[in-house]
Chains A and B, each alone.
Chain A
Amino acid sequence: MNDDALRQQWLRLERKLDAVLDVQAEIARRSILEPTRRRLHRHAFWPAVDIAFGLVVAFVAGSFLPQSLGDWRLIGSAAVTMAGSVGLIVSSIIQLNLIGRIDWDGPVNPMQFELERLKIAKLRQLKWILLLAPLVGFCALIASIHALVGWIAGQPVNVLDKVDSTWVVANFAFGIVFAIFGHVAARWITAKFAGQGSWKRFLDNLAGRSLQQAKNDLQRWKDMTNG
């Protein structure tokens, strides 16, 4: 397409837009006059939820630690749950810090650079949540069941006394192996079977592909600055 043809089409677009200008002006008028419509903090919503969730879990796991002294399985579960929630809080604070730098009326290139960094922080957090889910999930399950049974009985009850230690160790081991090799397995599965939709997205997040794509996008904005 040459330059003249491009400009001709652009003018045609202008004529087409004339027809909807009045409607859009009314939308604009309503948008600014309706104070209930607030989407400014859309980016900040989930990190804030994650911090609140992480604080609750860290508090519960922390208060659970003194009760578990003497049983390595309970101490390990509480410690891993607490470490997971602290990690969630830290990564969410990093995101909120990046969100604080977002300036919608700033120059496009630096602003998009910051948004890509935010996206990378979110994807990195998601990747580790997925990789650590079996380990932290299992530990949180043990800790919560233990706390719940103790609360119902009105005194500390070690539910793990009824459970075979091998089963606990096997779950710990699976969680650790998945955290280390989960992304390799995800890459292998996506290479063998082309998935679709949410399943593909899940595997891409787990395998680190989404993260790599975001890094490439970040590099493109960086290149734009350098020319």
Chain B
Amino acid sequence: MALDPGKQLERNARLKELLARTALSDQKAFAELYRLTSAHLYAVALRILREAPAAEEALQESFVNVWHHARSYVAAKSQPLTWLTSIVRNRCLDQLRRREVATVTLDDEEEGLDVATEDPTPLDMLLLGADARAVGACVEALEASQKQAIALAFFQGLSHGELARHLRQPLGTVKSWIRRGLERLRTCLDAAGAGR
């Protein structure tokens, strides 16, 4: 969905209108909203959950939520796609949390942790996404280790512990990469006037 700025404005206006109509229980608007955004949101869920059935469930739950809570979007003041993405991501992270609770005693290291094998890599995507938002310079400014840790956490939903295992680094090191990386990203984005 990396669009040029004009198209992006146009799309956002359309999505806002559809959300407003969905808030009034307009089923046609809701169907159109699904048609326009589900492939993007499904990709988000699929990356984090890594299994189609779980991603389908997350998408389903998210849209049921959107139907019932579209009214609260008006107050959220976010970009429509950002708002929708946050709903899907939170749903996915909740699922991961439930899984963690269920498997906390048999944490089997690398198994089921099949990341960074697909193309493009999370790092590529971080740069791609950054390009789309004209904040490439900010992501570029991160150190390679920070960039990689943030990309894996964001796109694949890896926890600190999983990141440490995946990157073969001590937990504390990974945590500080993330923390410092986020701080730098914020300083840079805010200075660039983005991230509003």
Real complex partners, A and B? Answer: no
Q: Which residues of A contact B (CB under 8 A)?
A: none
